[in-house]
Structure 1
Amino acid sequence: MSTPRLEISRVRVSSILFLFSFSILTSPASSSKIPYSAHCSSLVAESPPTTPSSTPTLAFRFSAGYFTGGDRILASDPNSTFRIPKSLSFRPRSLHKTLTPTTLQIAGTLVFRGGGIRVSNHHRGLRLRISPRNPRSFAQRGRVSFDLDGFWTESSGKLCMVGTGVARSAEGLALELSAVFKLNYPNSSNILTSVVSGVVESLDDVNSLNYFDPIRVLAYVQKDYEFTKVPAAVGSCSAVKVDEELLGFEHNDTCAYLNTLSMQKFRLKYGESCFDPICGSPRQDFGLSTNFIGLNGVQCSEDGRLRMYFFLANGENFGVTKIMDPLKTLVAEGVWDHEKKRLCLVACHILNFSTSSSQEVVGDCTIRLSLWFPSVLSIKNMSMVSGRMWTTLNRSEPGYFDMVSFEIVENRMMNAPGLKYNYTQIDRVKKHCAKDDARKIGERRYPNVKYLGDLRFDMSLKNAIDQSAWGYANPVFIGENFYNRYPPLQIQVPSVVEPNQSSWNVSYRIGYSFSGQPYHAYRVNEISAEGTYDAQTGVLCLVGCQQGGSSLDCDILINLQLAPLNPKEGEHLIGTIKSMRKTSDPLFFKPLKISSYGIYKTQASETIWWMDIEIIMVLISLTFSCIFIGLQLFHIKKYPNVLPSISITMLAILTLGHMIPLVLNFEALFSRNHNQQNVLFRSGGWLQVNEVLVRVITMVAFLLLFYLLRVAWSSRSADEDKKGLWVAERKTLLFCLPLYAVGGLIALLVHLSSAGVLEKTHRHSLWEDLLSYAGLILDNFLLPQFILNMFWNSKDKSLAPSFYVGTSFVRALPHVYDAYRAHHYIPHLSLSYIYASRDEDLYSSAWDIIIPCEVVVLVVIIYLQQRFGGASILPQRIKESGGYEMVPVVTQ
């Protein structure tokens, strides 16, 4: 399941121009203005370049680096809406040989990122046709890009470059920077030199606004690597005894599986004694308060040797701590032991690089790690990867900690051959989850395991005291097949569908955390569960295990009713998590209520299809509007004498109805969608292209209406015999304005009265309700013409039948469609309504009948007035009694 976010964010034109101008500013001036020899000759001698080098630029490229200093241009803004973690990257543009055989000329770009982005809402987004948006302005500080040129020498492993860059001050002023970049970059590396360090220094005067304090840099490089700690790693791996059966890999497949470890998240599991100050822990060593470790930068050789770096982090900022922060990073190398079926590693600390002038910034290689892949998973062990971490230090030495176990948090590995699951709780599930055959009767359809993604869902939970929590439920095995949420492209997911099978054994990992927890106490409660899923009833029943203090609590019952694929209004996933223990048991907990409003992938595909259809309907409607307006223009060209009889009020309403969306959404003509986080909008730009088409056609209709309004006004003003029409127009306006005002007041009162009722659900703002009321005025656009015809009592065929009938049909059709859509209501489609959007008009069962009837009545009235006279529809006794006064008319 995926949770829909169907509102499309739009960036204002001002934001686009700002970012465009900023990108221009960040294109630094030529670095040739700074003499290389004055700043780098003592480090790397300059040498004339000759031919392009065959050395790949990748050899000098690095990313995910770290830096300190440069606060004047890279300091975080305390008012930032989003914080950007410190990072740096270097991208070589060209490498050239020089007359000195061991020297290369290098040109490249060094980019620092850090600081934050400040976002301010100028006004609330107006959800209009097709793309509701939230216009914002962005102010970014903390990105500095240097364009550098220099030389690297193989003999000393030194790199020196000079160049210029552009940054922004705290006041937002553009700063033109000049700098020298010095880096220790050896030709080949081992674990001690795999992390390089250097400095970027300002060449501007200390008293200049462009001056910045030195920036110390650190980076994990990808040059030729020499493994030196493999024997130590293999030797220490014998310290870990593993009793369970493990997966082994063929030599050719080893790297394919080990590379999937990159960017994985592991949970450290401490014993009770590890909180004792005597034994210590890596958390104390790294100054952390929570229990996660990840790894990145995995590079594997064909013989199973590999290198990487580990980073420790807390649960909340794990996603932004993949940068090489030296205080929380370990550099490691090791080998896959095919005999013992495990990975053996030696890890080293990063030293205080900010004061180190040596090429080696890595040391203290006293940490050992071992990882393995269990071949059989169970409810008590669902991690595809487990491991241990320990130190070779003595207990009395600083930095010592007891052996710590860890396991992977989310199984995002490849489906290794031989991986199995051992179901042990199915009998208990059958005992506690009675099968209800009666629930199978009906037209309800539920997810089939053919669509594996539909069995994964996010959920919200509430406990007995109404505290809220967010959670997830991820399948581990479905039947005998491993579920991979992120299957590699080259791996085929095996079919788990058997003929005539409707019930499957399944296993899940369920996690949830309550909101409002203190930062230091943040944790995810995890449950390993297994049970059965019945695709005929949509019932998922599981027995789960959860760590309760020092013991494992396996008396947890999870009962879920999945939402059907064809839900009725209000239907969604519901369920409970409850303890099967007695209330007096210390591990007992009160039931947790579960709900989820996500949609299935099949529903998402259906939603996209409906959106495409509705976009086409919008385009067709607007196109026909243009055609009908064009036919009216041909009509007045053929019969110019009827032009003054067209209601100026009617034309003004139609013109404003097309102009306001253009004014409020003008930036949509130039901006593109930046919110691509939901599968519903990853459709090759189809939605964005059609949004622009809608705006273009709307603008064409507006221009045609504006032209029609202008010529009608000019024609009436130029005809002295038609002055009485202005009197009739004024009376029409005086009749319509109070009517519109009363309607607006009623809309305001309805909005205010519904505020309390809809407090906990989505409700429109006052502005959006007024926009819907404006749609009602547009639906009845013929009303001013009807009133004018009565006051003027004209038989002029001022409106072409194709115009007033066709335009009325275009306005009434969305209500007919909405009535059909309500009859075939699909809840997950409601947020994707584009045609007949509830933000543009009044739509309900009542309005979908009332408005088309009003439109038909007005069309019939206009037809009768143009055939028999404006007052012909009035009762005869009203005309005879003098209760109706017509404006004198001069016929031609």
Structure 2
Amino acid sequence: MAPPSPNNPNLYSYHLCFLLLLVSSTTTLSAAISTSYSSLCPSSLTPAQNIHTDVDDTLSLTRSFQISTGHFSGGDGNLFSADDDDLYNSYRSFSLFPHGASRTSDKAIVHLTATLTITGPRTLAYRSRGHRHKYTVPVSISFVLDGYYSPVSFQLCMVGSGTEQSADGSLKHYPDVALRLRVPSPPSLSDPFVSGTLKGSDDLGTINLLAYAEGDDYKYRSDRAACRKPRQPARGSFQALGGNSSAWCAHLKEQLVTSYRLEHGGATGPLLGRLRESRKMDVNQMQCTQDGAVRAYLVFFNDTAGSERAGFYYRQRRFLVDEEAAVVAEGRWDSVQGVLCLRACPVVRSVSAPSALAVREDECGIGMSFWFPAVWTMRDRSVVAGMLWNSTQETTSGNKDDAAGAGAGLITASSIEVTDHNQIIFDVAGNHRSSNLSDVKYSYNDTMLEEAKKHYDLKFRKEKIKRSHSFPGNYTYRDFEFRFYGEDGMGNGQAYPVTIGSVMVVGDRLAADDSFSHRHAEVENGLLNVSYDIQYSAPRERPRTSRITNGSYMLTTEEQERVSAEGVYDPEKGILCMVGCRGHNGSTDCQILVTVKFSSLYARGHENGRGAISSLRENKTDPLFFERIDIRLYGMYSGEMSEAISRMDLESVLLVASTTLSCVFTVLQILHTKKNPEAAAATSITMLAILTLGYLTPLVLNFEAMFRSRRSRYFGYSMIGPLEINEVMMRAPILVAFVLQLRLLQLAWSGRRRPAEQTPPPPVSERIVLQICLPLYLIGAVLAATVHVVNVRAAAEHPLVVRTGGEPATIWEDLVSYAGLILDGFLLPQVILNAALAGAGSGVRAISPWFYIGCTMNRAMPHVYDVVRGQIYEQSINPSDLYASPRGDLFGVAWDIVIPCGAALLAALLFLQQRRRGTASLPSRRKTSGGYELVSNI
């Protein structure tokens, strides 16, 4: 129905009806909410009329009710999975974000509108290769709510409805939902938690909500905070917090909200005794004000893996409630001393509501101090350090600031997450969490250095090296990083330098790189002092039958180990010798020898060197003794990384140039076909169809790996390269070539539809082509699939094999590679067609020499380049081929010879066929008295 004309006198009637309908709908919706509210919320929270509220008051009210991170439990059993999945951030959480808040005519009531979002893990299933697979994904349900809050009873009641997007894309609705929360106003140390329930229909159930209050109206009692001076020098506030006084709170939260390793100094009593079994601590939530007040929620647990396990690339701060113990704390940041002083209270389960938490006010006697160490040692390399003690007990000397006097009763804390190089940590906003540690001093352990020098003299001092070799030196610290795996397939890990000479290189890499480039590392007696952080997976029981085969290694039950090591490095010989310490089963083992012999910077091959991690204990029955682990280094030096990126840029150019030339050759063939109309009927439809599908495949299939940024493949190594071609520029020539091939195919098909005088006619000849080519292609596909199955079965005999060169190709990928072989022989259908038409006496040259010679060269060049690449470039453990990729064709020593020769042979046959037919069709000339006379050859 068309809208009424502006001159239509009924226009105003339409507008009036629309307004009445809108008012009626709004009234009905408000009545429905009012009816639901009166039935689901207590009578004490009676809806009242809103009154005018200024902007500042509205913002203050909305911040008071905002919750960004909370935890929920319960709900219908089919709504979410029972277990959280930390690896993919699939855990139970909720958030509450108010849209608006206003005062009402009843001064004790506040009107609030908000959106509540609950997110939890849900297990989905799919079938692949006849097996059923399960995976966990985070699912969110959002609720739009409206209700009222009473600051007298601390009760918030809201009603509304929720929606969720189903797997099929449709929306699932949850009507008549009621939210009831207890929100302390204002929250304080003794009452800091928000708790309540969300109830709905049977498919939603009852969900218990719990969160740490985040509002700005928190009531601080910072004057009661306990404080002790650090046992070691602390960095100044300016350096530790980024040098920005206005943003100190954000920097403090960024550094302190992390995980800590605890060491107990004999803490006893009712306060600290319950934390005796806890080995880890998480500063889980933290809030602070611009005047220096700080409050936090901390949890304790005994997870031996904790934050050190791999996989936490994005570590969002979820609200933890299921740990062994927890405390709430408040205090103040002392900017003069550079120390955070806190007073903490234990948290227990509420008696009245087991799903909620309560604070034991009678035990608020736990003192805490945190600071940023200004000096690092081999035993203490934490960005943040701290200590916990019983502040109700005075030391024997009567001085609260004397940490040494009560050292036996202290619990020391050392941050572990920020210096965990095994992963790059990001905060919720996606910012890289790092610290500028260029001002931190490192103190080497003289005993460890002397021990390392002694072993170096015994093992390597007399070793000679060729002068032509070059090893990692003083120009970039990245060459000192390396990854490794065990020679017998057991154990793999990474090693990162902490200091090289006196230069601190851990933490903020940009600052460290700048510092390292301006400071020459001190070499004493030809040796350079270094310290490392080494993380690796060690076998629990080392089998003797494991071995490396075909670039693969076997995996068995392993445990994570972490070694802090110091020693010496010989830049002339490329030899690293260190002595280190590790924590193992509650004990500290400082008799570990780490030796590494780097390969030359100009060496070619997979390995970057070899080494060993061994125990210096002679008694094999010692519980801290472990068998020697021989390791092989792999990866790339920084120079090799730059070379690899430059090579990928070059291959991008070759890929675009090859496709562009294909477009040019296709255009020349189109012009040849239009100039010689008889050529269209003599062109093989099968050949053109194969070429068209060859260009269509990369446009249809998901080949993001081919078009990704070269630099994104080596995250963390931002090299400046000469060229960066984006995905659009690389796809455009393929699309143009595909369209041109379609045009050529259309011309050939149109030529077939014209009446033909040839015998046999082209359609009959094309049938002969298909009768020969199709069985040939099918036999090749069966052979390719058979080879794939044989390889899969061979791998199945060792199901725990992990390939260091990437995942094995799927059967689809192998068939795609075989399709590349068909493309290499694209001239075969045309050669067969020409043979079928040989008796017709046709004098048409169907294919332009530019087309078949040019396209043949395009198909042969990747194999020529593959040979050159194997001789010039180093083979990478992480292959990144863009041009001459094995995922698009068959490559290897044999294929690189057979395919170009076969393509050249087909081109030569086509040349001879067209030359013979062209010669046979030329008329002969004989001279007469009047000139030349044309005489037929027949």
For Structure 1 versus Structure 2, the TM-score category normalised by the shorter chain is 0.7 to 0.9
Q: Hey, what does 1:323 align to over in structure 2? A: 318
1:198 maps to amino acid: G
For 1:814, which of 862, 865, 870 is the aligned residue?
Answer: 862
Q: Does 1:472 align with 2:494?
A: yes
Q: Hey, what does 1:26 align to over in structure 2? A: none
Superposition TM-score, scaled by structure 2 size: 0.74
For 2:848, which of 797, 800, 821 is the aligned residue?
Answer: 800
Q: Hey, what does 1:406 align to over in structure 2? A: 413
For 2:825, which of 780, 801, 805 is the aligned residue?
Answer: 780
For 1:431, which of 454, 465, 490 is the aligned residue?
Answer: 454
1:786 maps to amino acid: V
Asked if the contact 2:271/2:366 (under 8 Å) is kept, the reply is: no
After TM superposition, list the pairs within 5 Å mapping 1:224-239 onto structure 2.
224-228=217-221, 230-234=223-227, 237=228
CA distance in 1, matches of 2:755, 2:288: 88
C-alpha deviations, 1:107-142, integer Å up to 9, x for none?
Answer: 332111112353646579xxxxxxxxxxx9988564
Residues 595 and 334 of structure 1: CA distance in aligned 2, closer, same or farther (over 3 Å): farther
CA distance in 1, matches of 2:703, 2:794: 34
After TM superposition, list the pairs within 5 Å mapping 1:704-723 onto structure 2.
704-722=740-758
Is the partner of 2:360 in helix, strand or coil? strand
> Which stretch shows the higher mean deviation, 541-550 or 491-500?
491-500
CA distance in 2, matches of 1:715, 1:788: 15
Asked if the contact 1:74/1:141 (under 8 Å) is kept, the reply is: no
> Which stretch shows the higher mean deviation, 371-380 or 488-497?
488-497
CA distance in 1, matches of 2:718, 2:51: 47
CA distance in 2, matches of 1:358, 1:844: 64
For 1:118, which of 124, 130, 133 is the aligned residue?
Answer: 124
For 1:291, which of 275, 279, 290 is the aligned residue?
Answer: 279
> Which stretch shows the higher mean deviation, 293-302 or 105-114?
293-302
After TM superposition, list the pairs within 5 Å mapping 1:486-501 onto structure 2.
486=508, 493=515, 495=517, 497-498=519-520
Shift, 1:268, TM fit: 2.1
> Which stretch shows the higher mean deviation, 251-260 or 723-732?
251-260
Q: Does 1:344 align with 2:341?
A: yes
Is the partner of 2:465 in helix, strand or coil? helix
Asked if the contact 2:378/2:566 (under 8 Å) is kept, the reply is: yes
Shift, 1:75, TM fit: 2.9
Asked if the contact 1:789/1:871 (under 8 Å) is kept, the reply is: no
Question: What is the root-mean-square deviation of aligned Cα atoms in Å?
Answer: 4.7
Q: Hey, what does 2:665 align to over in structure 1? A: 628
Unaligned runs of 5+ in 1: 1-28, 125-135, 285-289, 395-400, 873-889
Asked if the contact 1:630/1:704 (under 8 Å) is kept, the reply is: yes
Shift, 1:558, TM fit: 0.4
Q: Hey, what does 1:9 align to over in structure 2? A: none
Q: Hey, what does 2:545 align to over in structure 1? A: none
Is the partner of 2:882 in helix, strand or coil? coil
Q: Hey, what does 1:508 align to over in structure 2? A: 532
Higher relative contact order (CA 8 A, sep 6+): 1
Asked if the contact 2:606/2:877 (under 8 Å) is kept, the reply is: no
Shift, 1:605, TM fit: 4.7
CA distance in 2, matches of 1:358, 1:756: 52
1:798 maps to amino acid: A
2:48 maps to amino acid: E
Shift, 1:770, TM fit: 3.2
Q: Does 1:263 align with 2:311?
A: no
CA distance in 1, matches of 2:615, 2:509: 34
Residues 690 and 183 of structure 1: CA distance in aligned 2, closer, same or farther (over 3 Å): same
Shift, 1:529, TM fit: 1.0
C-alpha deviations, 1:352-401, integer Å up to 9, x for none?
Answer: 3594499994334343333345443333443454433345699xxxxxx9
Q: Hey, what does 2:404 align to over in structure 1? A: none
1:405 maps to amino acid: T
Residues 390 and 832 of structure 1: CA distance in aligned 2, closer, same or farther (over 3 Å): same
Q: Does 1:653 align with 2:690?
A: yes
> How many pairs does the alignment contain?
803
Q: Hey, what does 1:561 align to over in structure 2? A: 597
Residues 550 and 484 of structure 1: CA distance in aligned 2, closer, same or farther (over 3 Å): closer
CA distance in 2, matches of 1:601, 1:161: 58
CA distance in 2, matches of 1:278, 1:302: 31
C-alpha deviations, 1:595-646, integer Å up to 9, x for none?
Answer: 3433455544544443343234323322332332233223222221121111
Q: Hey, what does 1:481 align to over in structure 2? A: 503
Is the partner of 1:108 in helix, strand or coil? strand
CA distance in 2, matches of 1:683, 1:790: 55
1:648 maps to amino acid: I
Residues 471 and 368 of structure 1: CA distance in aligned 2, closer, same or farther (over 3 Å): farther
After TM superposition, list the pairs within 5 Å mapping 1:578-617 onto structure 2.
578-583=614-619, 586=622, 587-600=624-637, 603-617=640-654
Shift, 1:676, TM fit: 7.7
Asked if the contact 2:118/2:140 (under 8 Å) is kept, the reply is: yes
CA distance in 1, matches of 2:602, 2:445: 32
Is the partner of 1:468 in helix, strand or coil? coil
Residues 765 and 524 of structure 1: CA distance in aligned 2, closer, same or farther (over 3 Å): closer
CA distance in 2, matches of 1:773, 1:169: 40
Residues 170 and 837 of structure 1: CA distance in aligned 2, closer, same or farther (over 3 Å): closer
Shift, 1:798, TM fit: 0.9
Shift, 1:76, TM fit: 0.9
Q: Hey, what does 1:526 align to over in structure 2? A: 562
CA distance in 1, matches of 2:718, 2:743: 39
Q: Which has the larger radius of gyration?
A: 2
Q: Hey, what does 1:769 align to over in structure 2? A: 814
Residues 599 and 296 of structure 1: CA distance in aligned 2, closer, same or farther (over 3 Å): farther
Q: Does 1:679 align with 2:715?
A: yes
Residues 46 and 589 of structure 1: CA distance in aligned 2, closer, same or farther (over 3 Å): same
For 2:296, which of 300, 308, 311 is the aligned residue?
Answer: 308
1:181 maps to amino acid: L
Shift, 1:542, TM fit: 0.9
Asked if the contact 2:267/2:411 (under 8 Å) is kept, the reply is: no
Shift, 1:347, TM fit: 1.9
CA distance in 1, matches of 2:779, 2:355: 81
After TM superposition, list the pairs within 5 Å mapping 1:570-585 onto structure 2.
570-583=606-619
Asked if the contact 2:184/2:193 (under 8 Å) is kept, the reply is: no
Q: Does 1:420 align with 2:445?
A: no
> Which stretch shows the higher mean deviation, 109-118 or 222-231?
222-231
1:795 maps to amino acid: G
After TM superposition, list the pairs within 5 Å mapping 1:78-117 onto structure 2.
84-95=90-101, 105-117=111-123
Unaligned runs of 5+ in 2: 1-27, 242-247, 394-407, 420-433, 542-556, 921-935
Residues 417 and 627 of structure 1: CA distance in aligned 2, closer, same or farther (over 3 Å): closer
CA distance in 2, matches of 1:475, 1:157: 54
Residues 75 and 556 of structure 1: CA distance in aligned 2, closer, same or farther (over 3 Å): same
Shift, 1:534, TM fit: 3.7
Shift, 1:500, TM fit: 9.7
Shift, 1:657, TM fit: 2.5
1:293 maps to amino acid: M
Q: Hey, what does 1:791 align to over in structure 2? A: 836
Q: Hey, what does 2:18 align to over in structure 1? A: none
C-alpha deviations, 1:138-169, integer Å up to 9, x for none?
Answer: 88564211122344566665544332211479
CA distance in 1, matches of 2:777, 2:356: 79
Superposition TM-score, scaled by structure 1 size: 0.77
Asked if the contact 2:37/2:159 (under 8 Å) is kept, the reply is: no
CA distance in 1, matches of 2:701, 2:567: 53
